[in-house]
């Protein structure tokens, strides 16, 4: 998608919508526990449904803390000025499996090749690119690393912070050691629904996906694949999967 197409698509979103506190209370059934989605360092998130049927996520911030209040203001400013090219720290999927950005706690609006030093660690442990964890450097290449970890999480059904990952064993090293002959030991067993010859096709596709994820998670930012090549690779894998299923 080029910049013109992106701007045109964003322009259809219209102006920001103002929603009253009363509407939020109604949408979340009074912030009912059944609507609770999760809790982060700065507050809790609830699922809500507006009167027009639109589904929303509502973050409730503890504003008694000055640091949390400032973080909330910064996050609102990031969302207000959003022209987002980078992967954020949280992604939600709707009923059509379309991804939506849900948290801008460390999101940085910057172009390809740009980087910035951030002195406070605000990202989720386990998803941190090495250069962010050690030097506080935020860049597009760091987002590529985050995406690679998310790919691993999706296809293994394991989080990088699971109890099994201790000492020298991480989600990344666990997958790396499984290639190319032990993929069945790390992939989500729910993905293996076919037997016979097709299992070989599944393992081949999974090997390609895990290899791509590892390329995203190279320790050196310069060695990581760029997102244009990530998309191209995923499209090739998709074509092979669709072709195999139509034979």
70 appears as a binding residue in the annotation: no
What percentage of the chain reaches a pLDDT higher than 70? 62
Among 8-12, 104-108, 170-174, 235-239, the least confident range: 8-12
139: left (phi over 0), alpha (psi -120 to 50) or beta: beta
Predicted confidence (pLDDT) per residue in 187-236, tens digit: 988 887 654 557 888 888 999 999 999 999 999 999 999 999 999 999 99
| Better-scored residue on pLDDT, 184 or 133 | 184
3-state secondary structure 103-172: ECCCCCCCCCCCEEECCCCCCCCCCCCHHHHHHCEEEHHHHHHHHHHHHHHHHHCCCCCCCCCCCCCCHH
Q: What is the mean pLDDT of the chain?
A: 75
Predicted confidence (pLDDT) per residue in 106-145, tens digit: 444 444 455 555 444 444 567 778 887 666 677 788 889 9
pTM, to two decimals: 0.59
pLDDT of 177 reads: 94
Find the mean pLDDT for residues 78-100.
58
Residue ranges of domains in the chain, CATH in brackets: 115-247 (1.10.510.10)
């Amino acid at each position: 998608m080029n910049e013109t197409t992106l701007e045109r698509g964003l322009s259809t979103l219209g102006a920001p919508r103002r929603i009253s506190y009363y509407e939020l209370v109604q949408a979340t059934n009074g912030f009912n526990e059944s609507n609770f989605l999760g809790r982060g360092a700065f507050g809790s998130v609830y699922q809500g449904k507006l009167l027009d049927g639109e589904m929303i996520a509502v973050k409730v911030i503890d504003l008694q803390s000055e640091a949390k209040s400032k973080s909330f203001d910064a996050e609102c400013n990031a969302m207000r000025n959003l022209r987002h090219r980078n992967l954020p720290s949280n992604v939600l999927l709707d009923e059509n499996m379309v991804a939506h950005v849900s948290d801008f706690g460390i999101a940085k609006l910057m172009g390809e090749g740009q980087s910035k030093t951030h002195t406070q660690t605000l990202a989720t442990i386990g998803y941190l690119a090495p250069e962010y964890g050690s030097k506080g450097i935020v860049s597009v290449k760091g987002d590529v690393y985050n995406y690679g970890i998310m790919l691993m999480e999706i296809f293994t059904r394991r989080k990088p912070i699971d109890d099994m990952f201790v000492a020298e064993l991480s989600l990344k090293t666990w997958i790396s050691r499984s290639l190319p002959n032990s993929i069945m030991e790390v992939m989500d067993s729910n993905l293996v629904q076919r037997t016979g010859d097709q299992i070989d096709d599944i393992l081949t596709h999974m090997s390609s996906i895990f290899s791509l994820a590892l390329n995203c998670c190279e320790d050196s930012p310069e060695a990581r694949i760029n997102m244009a090549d990530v998309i191209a690779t995923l499209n090739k894998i998709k074509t092979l999967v669709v072709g195999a299923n139509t034979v």
